[in-house]
Amino acid sequence: MDKTTATIVCTQSSQVLATRLAEKLTLSLTPVIRRRFPDGEIYIQIEFSPLSTHTCEKVVLIGSTLTSDDIVELLLLIDACVEKEIILVLPYMGYARQDQRFNPGESISARAIAQTLGARVSQVITVNIHKETVLSDFRVPARNVSLATEIATHIKTVISADAKPLLLAPDKGALGLIQRVAMQCNYEYDYLSKKRISGEEVIIESKAIPVAGRELVIIDDIISTGGTLATSATMLIAQGASLIHAVCVHGVFIQGAYARLKQCGIGHLCSSDTIESAGSGYSAAPAIAQAIREIL
């Protein structure tokens, strides 16, 4: 990799992950000035050095889009780098869960965001995107990386192998992820059946899984309200599970979800740094760095 021709630029929301990525790839992290106009609009200026303005041909632009402001900041950064080849990394892609029209008149938000962000970049990398079918909506080469290896390594670090934990996906959608994690830990795994009632409420169907007296690790792509995890944990505790841990990729943790989940007895609870918080217990940097090495 020619380090003089590529640099990393990040949004405010992905500064820690971008720093880790820069270290892994031994690439520079170009600073960005951010301000707000009096009316709240965002101003950005990328501080390319006089030399890199001319010599740096590629920009790895990294930014999770948890809020609408994150999306605007990313669009402004894309515009500021437009003379260069942009590899866009979306560690967490917001709006990705509505990937089809359920009722007439609804927008397919995943497609709308993917088409907008993909319009002026040359490649896209996502991390455990909710559904890989969304990748084609970027309309440029796009690939999704999985944090299964990082999750497996993390579980082996924080949970004693003597406990022989059972890995559980809260729904069939997380089965692919948990299979890959289980393969690397050599632990048993299973999945639950979930029915979503509303944004906050889910029903977990009872299933005969021998959990009595066992330590469990629930693994999901996203923890948002924590409803899925809390409902699963309540059922599993009633079935006799001795201890429940939870690891996810994207820790959205809205409405105080992290504190609520800890208070209702979840043991180890963490996410990656695709959304940066004190609950980020492992990093997506190794997996993203590997994907970038294969591109640059």
Site string for ligand R5P, 141-180 (x = CB under 6 A): -----------------------------xx-xx------
Residue 281 DSSP code: E
92's CB contacts (< 8 A; 6+ apart) are 64, 65, 66, 127, 250, 252, 274, 275
Interface with ligand R5P, residue 232, by CB under 6 A: no
The question of whether 194 is a catalytic residue gets the answer yes
Q: How far is CA 138 from CA 10, 94, 118, 147, in A?
A: 19, 14, 5, 21
Interface with ligand R5P, residue 228, by CB under 6 A: yes
Considering 194, 195, 207, 262, which one is annotated as catalytic?
194
Q: Which is nearer to ligand R5P, 9 or 204 (CB)?
A: 204
For the bound state, the minimum distance from the C-beta of residue 241 to ligand R5P, rounded and expressed in Å, comes to 19
Q: 239 and 212 in contact (C-beta within 8 Å)?
A: yes
Query: Of 75, 222, 269, 289, which one interacts with ligand R5P (CB under 6 A)?
Result: 222
Q: Phi and psi dihedrals of 278, rounded to 5?
A: -65, -15
Query: Of 63, 94, 118, 226, which one interacts with ligand R5P (CB under 6 A)?
Result: 226
Q: Which is nearer to ligand R5P, 60 or 182 (CB)?
A: 182
Query: Of 63, 227, 251, 279, which one interacts with ligand R5P (CB under 6 A)?
Result: 227
CA-wise closest residue to 137 among 86, 180, 196, 90: 90
If residue 73 lies in a helix (H) or strand (E), which one and from where to where?
helix 68-80
- Binding positions for ligand R5P, rule: CB under 6 A: 170-171, 173-174, 202, 220-228
